Amino acid sequence: MLSKDIFSIRLKKIRKAAGEQQKDLADAVQMAQTQISAIENGKQGTSFDKLAAICIHYNVSADYLLGLIDEPRPLNDEKKEGVL
């Protein structure tokens, strides 16, 4: 089931696992920290472009963030600075 709640929980989880603050993520994907906060609190969604940027930043599939799969999968097998 797709849900802003799942997305917000998983985004916060991977951000914290990466040891980042909301401001760090905001800077990495060219958003305001207040937007990251609103997304993580389930008050706001995001665009496809920003979703893609988040996936690239953390090297995680959108399927996981969107709740389509339960285990995070990397976008690629290369070692990146993502949490996977």
What's the mean pLDDT in 59-69? 94
> Whole-model pTM?
0.85
Alpha helices in the chain (DSSP H): 4-17, 22-28, 33-40, 48-58, 62-65
* Domain boundaries, given as residue ranges, for the chain: 4-65
From CA 23, how far away is CA 70, in angstroms rounded?
A: 27
Between these two residues, 83 and 1, which has the higher pLDDT value?
83
What's the mean pLDDT in 68-73? 91
Two structure tokens written together for 4: 């802003």
Chain segment 4-61, per-residue pLDDT in tens: 799 999 999 999 999 999 999 999 999 999 999 999 999 999 999 999 999 999 999 9
User: Is the predicted pLDDT of residue 82 greater than 90, yes or no?
Assistant: no
In this structure, the number of other CB atoms found within 10 A of the CB of residue 29 comes to: 20
Task: Quickly name the fold that domain 4-65 has.
Answer: 434 Repressor (Amino-terminal Domain) (1.10.260)
